[in-house]
Structure 1
C-alpha cells in the first residue's frame, strides 16, 4: 500500500483532509423522506448527492403497503439492486411482463438497464420493506403505456412523480 494511503496526514491536503470528506455513517433513524411520497409507498434516502455528496449512487429504503403494484416501466441506463428486508416481493419483467420471480427476506433482486418491469408487494396482509440502491443519483423512470400490466394495480396504487398511475 502506498504511503499516502496508509498515512493520509502526509498528503498535500493536510491533516483534516478526510474528516469531512471521508466515511459517513447515516443512522437508520436519520433517513431523509424529502423524496417522492404517495399512499402505498414510503421512500427514504440514505445516500445521495444532497446528503453526502454521492456522485454515482443512490441508496435508501422503501416500505410498500400490501398489494401495492407499479405500472410497467424501466429505469433507462440505471442498474438497480433491491434487498428484501421483510415481506414478499414479486417482480414481473419482459416485453410483455412474461417472466416472474419472487423474493423474500435476505434475497437480492437485480434490475438491469432498460428492462421493462413491474414491482409488486405480493403479500395481501404485510408491508414489504426493502433497501434500494441505484447506479446514479438521477431518478430515471420511463413509463411504458403500450404494455398492459399482468397484475393490474388494484387496491393501492404505487403512484408518485416517478411511478405514474397506470389508468
Structure 2
C-alpha cells in the first residue's frame, strides 16, 4: 500500500520528527488552565489555548465561570468572532445598539457573537454558576467597553432558529 501523495513535496515526510514531539498536538488538562487572563467581577476566565501556552497564532480558547446573577458590561470584541458553548447553567445574551435583542441558551447550546456586535453576557440563574467554554478567532484579548448605552428595558426576544428548530408559536 503506497502512502505517496501528489503534494508530498509541499509537506515532506522527512520533517524533523523531534520537532513534532514539542510542536505537534498538545493536550491541556482541565486542571492546568491559566487564570492569568483579564478578569471581570463575578466572572472567572482561564486560558487553555493561546500563544503563550501552546504557540497558537489565530485562536484563543478557555473557560469562563459566571457567578449567579452576574453580568458583563456592554462591550464588543472588535474584528474577533466568538463562540460560547454552555456546559452548565442558563445564559442570557443581550445585544444591539441599545441591547434591544435577547436570547437564552442552556447546556449543550452554542452562541455565536459576530465581530463588532455590542453585547452583554448574563447568568440568568439566581442560584447556580454558569460554566462555559469560550473560543475566539484571534489570540488578542480585544474588548471594547461601551459606556454610553441606554438599554431598552424590555428587549425583543429573538429565537435561535434553523431548519430543524422553529420559534415557538
Q: Tell me the residue number matched to 1:141.
A: 143
List per-residue Cα deviations over 1:63-88 (Å, max 9, x = no partner). Answer: 00001011111110000000000000
Displacement of 1:148 after TM fit? Answer: 2.6
CA gap of 1:79–1:141, structure 2 versus 1, over 3 A, is: same
For the 8 Å contact 1:87–1:105, the answer to whether it is kept is: yes
Structure 1 segments unaligned to the other structure (5+ residues): 152-167
In 2, Cα distance between the equivalents of 1:22 and 1:34?
24
CA gap of 1:50–1:150, structure 2 versus 1, over 3 A, is: farther
For the 8 Å contact 1:4–1:10, the answer to whether it is kept is: no
**Please, what TM-score do these two structures have when normalized by structure 1?**
0.82
Structure 2 segments unaligned to the other structure (5+ residues): 154-169
Displacement of 1:34 after TM fit? Answer: 1.2
Structure number with greater Rg is: 2
Q: Tell me the residue number matched to 2:100.
A: 98
In 2, Cα distance between the equivalents of 1:34 and 1:88?
26
In 2, Cα distance between the equivalents of 1:10 and 1:109?
39
List per-residue Cα deviations over 1:97-140 (Å, max 9, x = no partner). Answer: 11100000000000000001111000000000000000011111
For the 8 Å contact 1:9–1:17, the answer to whether it is kept is: no
**Please, what TM-score do these two structures have when normalized by structure 2?**
0.81
Q: Tell me the residue number matched to 1:2.
A: 5
Runs of 4+ in 1 over 4 A off after TM superposition: none
Structure 2 residue matching 1:18: 3-state secondary structure = helix
For the 8 Å contact 1:74–1:113, the answer to whether it is kept is: yes
When the two structures are aligned, how many residues end up with a matched partner?
Answer: 148
For the 8 Å contact 1:71–1:149, the answer to whether it is kept is: no
Q: Which has the higher contact order (CA 8 A, sep 6+)?
A: 1
